Amino acid sequence: MIMSTRPSIAVTVRLAMTAMKMTMLLSTTISVLLLLSAPCAFAQRAGQDASLVAKFQTALQQDGFSVHPGMVSTVDWAGMYCKGERPDAGYVNKAPYLMIQVPQSADPSAPVVEYFKLRPDEAIVLIGPTPPPVKYFGFNAFLGTRFYPDEPAGTQRRWLVATLGDAINNATIKTAGPTPFGTLAVIIFTPDRGTDASIRTALQRTGYPPAVVNTMVLPSSMLKLGESDTADELTLKMRIGLVEGSPERLDAYVRDAGTAVKVLRVTPTTTTAADPFPVPPLRVRGTGQGEMNLMGKVDELRAGIIAANPGMHATDILSMPVGYEGYDYIQRRTSPGADSRDNLFLAAGYIPQFGSSQRVALAEDEFLVVYGVNHVATGKASYASVNVYASEFAKLSIGQVFHDKFPGTAAPYLPAGDPAVSRLYAVKASRNCGDDPNCVPLRVDGCPVLTLEDDTAVGFFFRMYLEPATRAGAAMQEIVYDRAIKFSPRP
């Protein structure tokens, strides 16, 4: 019997259903690819399209909230100090900082400020693109100032600038893209679960996918929230470290952040019962695997550095951890100076504000060698830097080096072929580097209020951000501390 080439009704149905499934699968795949492209079309539209942000504001207002815009601004404390607009440069790193400026209150006429008070049911919302590829970025919430009624009059409100828990960083943030860079993110800063849920509902109704929404909890049980004269002041900041690829992309991001990143203060128009978040658990620092197997090698490196500079007098400069945990400083009523749980800070030399009081000055015929373990090479950090500061008055960076310059720098001071070379570094710093390629020039550029003299006190900050395994800063007990040596001509 010859079989007919015409398909049966059942086969036809099966073919139609298969085609429909393939069409749906293709449609879904295309949608996912579009969502995950970075920077994806949605991220560009949502991060920069003011009309979408306006729709979100309208949705909030329909749900019983008032909404008032803030702004993002860059901060240049070094430039302000050099112009005589600040008493000092505040030990800032030579890397971008973004300040999140918030309306002082829900009053439409309230000015936009860096330090603000917050009701227990309010929130601050950020909407916009994340930075281009960098080694690190992080958003932090700080307890800025606190009023202590038992302190003497005139000193009752104290500066703290201490972190309120973990940052949202490039290893933890939820975004629209397959990487955390150059794509849309929304961050809600709030103490209240009900307010958070309402904002998330309005975002989703407007068209923002839940996958891009992050919440940073402001812990009510630790804070004195409200608008009274004795309430806490909060502040929000963003750090960015070491761009990957073209620096122009980061320059453009920082330049455009004021318009690309939206800041909104969200306030319920009617008072409801508070539903505070509990204090979030902290990410645990440390892996149990440290750098102590390199401590002896660092001692050998020191000996090699001294041997390479015969006829010079060597003075050791040791470092110490500072600003380790904001919660610790809050309880001691002491300022950590904008700490971060994503970082381990080490201080050395003359930085008395942080307990490092070894007075170090550098004449024109003297130089430094900073040295130690390359914490990025050992896997204990994603990015590291060394800053030398004119520290007594200016608190201004006069020289800086990042970890990308470390490879190979320890080789001249250790035996040829020593495998530890790849995990160590040794960098010279001097007011007269000459043609030495492994030397960081210590100088003051474009700052008429400061001149380096032979007796200018100097201090050091060693920064190491974000251990990849923990997505937090390294544990200090797992780190071999960085050091420095000052070399002076013998009399």
Residue type (1 letter), 480? V
- 260 has pLDDT over 50: yes
Per-residue pLDDT tens over the stretch 333-369: 999 999 999 999 999 999 999 999 999 999 999 999 9
Phi, psi torsion values for 297, nearest 5 degrees: -65, -35
Output the pTM of the full model: 0.88
Per-residue pLDDT tens over the stretch 45-94: 434 467 899 999 999 999 999 999 999 998 888 999 999 999 999 998 87
Alpha carbon dihedral 336, 138, 73, 261, in 10-degree steps, equals -150
Greatest CA separation for the chain = 114
Burial label for 153, CB within 10 Å (0-12, 13-18, 19+), is: exposed
Task: pLDDT band for 247, please (50, 70, 90 cuts).
Answer: very high
Place of tokens 């996958």: 211
CB 485 within 8 A of CB 426: no
User: 13 vs 16, 19, 108, 444, CA distance in Å?
Assistant: 5, 10, 62, 79
As a whole number, mean pLDDT of residues 257-281 equals 95
